Structure 1
Amino acid sequence: MDTKASITIHDIARELNISASTVSRALNNNPRISKETKDRIKAKALEMGYQPNTIASNLRNQKTNTIGIVVPLINRHFFSAFISGVEEVAFAKGYNVIISQSNDLLEKEKQIVHSLFSNRVDGLIASLSMQTNEFDHYQLFSKKKIPIVFFDRVVPELEAHKIVVDDFGVGFKATEHLIEQGYKRIAHLAGPTVLHTYRDRMNGYRAALEKYNFEIDENLIIHNRLTRIDGQDAIKQLLALPQPPDAVFCGNDTSALSMIVYLKKIGVRIPEDFGIIGFSDEPFSEVVTPSISTLKQPAFDMGVKAGELLIQEIESKTRLKEHVTYTVPTELIQRESSSRKK
């Protein structure tokens, strides 16, 4: 036999002098085949190096047992922990996972989503890039009734399950915490308002200021992509104001860290002279000096929930007429960067 050629069920059948249909049933664990026969056929298949043709099987069944995940940045702890949650559920249910990152670029996100659609994934889990202001690429899935679950940065206009945190509450709690610590002029480093996530956090920030009769100064609100460089540029811009702030609520921990590094470099005391709170509870937030106050979101649990919802919908015999939005709680973690009052 040519060892370079793919081994088929017909080759196994000839070796065992049985029918190909019996081999097929045994390899698919058909209850009509006895355990003894199954074991004998599977042992021969392993010995001969048989590999099932999953592509052909998937085409016949119109199911690939594969789901796609699109995240902005894999190297962020929140997204990697979320992916781990999805994978735990998917693996247990017999699904493979294809993971892609958009690098917060709309065009790359569109290419990824089109590719996953072309590869016939059974469902999609996605968080939008910071540039995403159009959604036609996701409509491909909706029109074919392929399930989608959005998380964190979601598309309100599309019918799909959504898993989010209370972003308005996040902005309110972070700002209120700084007020309670005695800070008087509080800035906000926000992400792009094209995304509801950052718009809602900014509105929560504004609401907290209003509740405590603080002036809302538009000069204290800066929008950018929340990278390390953006954080450093933002704190320089804020300190150059005629009336600079004495605290900042940052849209993530990465920008909060870069602000702390710069402030320490120029001799500003944290938290005595300046308070900072971030968002997400990245692993570095606890170990840097000063440690970073933040709001923690349960990334792994969000991933588990997303995986469960998607697979339930994939395996449902009737497509859902209504989808749900799950809002998960966040926890304010007070650390050194904002603890002016002991």
Structure 2
Amino acid sequence: MNSGKATIHDISKALNIDSSTVSRALNNSPRVSSKTKAKILTKAAELGYQRNSLASNLRTNKTNTIGVIVPRISRSFFSSVISGIEETAYKNGYNVIICQSLEDVNREKKIMDNLLSNRVDGVLISISMQTSSYEHLKPFRNHGAPIVFYDRPCNFEGCTSVSIDDFEASFKATEHLISNGCKNIVHFGGPQNIALYKNRKKGYLAALEKYGLEINEIFCFENELSENDGVIMAKEILKMKNVDGIYAANDTSAISALQYLKSKDVKIPEDIAIVGFNNDPISSVIEPSLTTINQPDFEMGRMATNALIDQIKDTSLSVRPIVLKSELIVRSSSKVMP
């Protein structure tokens, strides 16, 4: 008999045990005694039996696979989130399909269609910066499969989100700049159709208001916070002349702005203090090192996956936002008064 080609009937014939009993034993049914189960499993291994996962999935309507949509795997934050997702999924017997939207809503729509066609049991998604409507998520939800949002929470009925309190983190970052003497603080913001970036801007504005600083709309930028965007915003800041602080909604734009300003002989933090967001690995090794907000990225992936698997197993579970703690890490790029 060829290895890997044995069937339930071959095991049944070899042991002279009814094939239905063999099937139950292979599916770990409590209706089969431990002794019989052990005998069947031993013989199955001996004969090279391999379970037909496809047939089993068709019977149970489950694939034991979850889809993950990530904006960009190259971003350190998302790589760590995915590590948390994969480890947790593996421990729970789930496979993972990872897809990148590359911040493109049309690509995101195609990915959702493909995941639906492949009958994944659920989806973990951090929406693209272009996503302003959730119509493309409805067919998946109508199919009865759960969706969990991570990092970028969305107000989509019946879905759990796992994120940090972006308002609180941004308030904390802006307050830090104010406490170190900054009075004219620019905000590098992301697209305001994304709740995450909207809340980060709100936290920035709330800190200015609390400390009686003028709110100036020309200090509020909005773009995709790429490296190039950081340089473009830094050039605009040099035209303003009175800027003494920058709070950026990600490290990517903060670091490219910092490097450009340094190249123009701006002293960091003496002339302009800078705070970023995400605690990318490079933020601790650039000169000066970047003050930033640290997020529990691996833990976010772990908790989002657990929430999704719980809903796959019990679709009646109530959904709720899960909010994790963030931390301000103070480094050399922000002023520290003596």
> Distance in 1 between the 2:109 and 2:193 partners?
17
Match of 2:73 in 1: 74
Q: 1:33: Cα distance to partner?
A: 4.3
User: CA 1:326–1:38 in structure 2 vs 1: closer, same or farther (change >3 Å)?
Assistant: closer
Match of 1:278 in 2: 276
State which drifts further: 22-31 or 10-19: 10-19
Match of 1:94 in 2: 93
Match of 2:28 in 1: 29
> Distance in 2 between the 1:255 and 1:66 partners?
35
Q: Contact between 1:149 and 1:162, CA under 8 Å: does it hold in 2?
A: yes
TM-score (norm 1): 0.91
State which drifts further: 27-36 or 183-192: 27-36
From 328, 331, 340, give the equivalent of 2:324. Answer: 328
Count of aligned positions: 338
Q: Contact between 2:277 and 2:292, CA under 8 Å: does it hold in 1?
A: yes
State which drifts further: 258-267 or 54-63: 258-267
Match of 1:263 in 2: 261
Q: 1:193: Cα distance to partner?
A: 0.6
The amino acid that maps onto 2:262 is K
- Once the two structures are superposed, residues 127-158 of structure 1 have per-residue CA deviations (whole angstroms, 9 ceiling, x without a partner) of 11000012112112322332111122122143
Q: 1:102: Cα distance to partner?
A: 0.9
Match of 1:50 in 2: 49
The correspondence of residues 1-342 of structure 1 with structure 2, limited to 5 A, is 3=2, 6-16=5-15, 18-35=17-34, 37-241=36-240, 243-316=241-314, 319-320=316-317, 322-342=318-338
- Once the two structures are superposed, residues 171-221 of structure 1 have per-residue CA deviations (whole angstroms, 9 ceiling, x without a partner) of 221111111111221101110111111111112111212222222222221
> Distance in 2 between the 1:148 and 1:166 partners?
20
TM-score (norm 2): 0.92
The amino acid that maps onto 1:237 is E
- Once the two structures are superposed, residues 43-86 of structure 1 have per-residue CA deviations (whole angstroms, 9 ceiling, x without a partner) of 44334443211111111111122222211112222222222223
Q: What is the DSSP-based 3-state SS (H/G/I as helix, E as strand, rest coil) of the residue aligned with 1:295?
A: strand
Q: RMSD over aligned Cα, in angstroms?
A: 2.2
Q: What is the DSSP-based 3-state SS (H/G/I as helix, E as strand, rest coil) of the residue aligned with 1:337?
A: coil
Gaps of 5+ in 2: none
| Identity in percent | 48
> Distance in 2 between the 1:7 and 1:266 partners?
72
Q: Contact between 1:145 and 1:319, CA under 8 Å: does it hold in 2?
A: no
Q: Contact between 2:112 and 2:140, CA under 8 Å: does it hold in 1?
A: no
> Distance in 2 between the 1:186 and 1:254 partners?
18
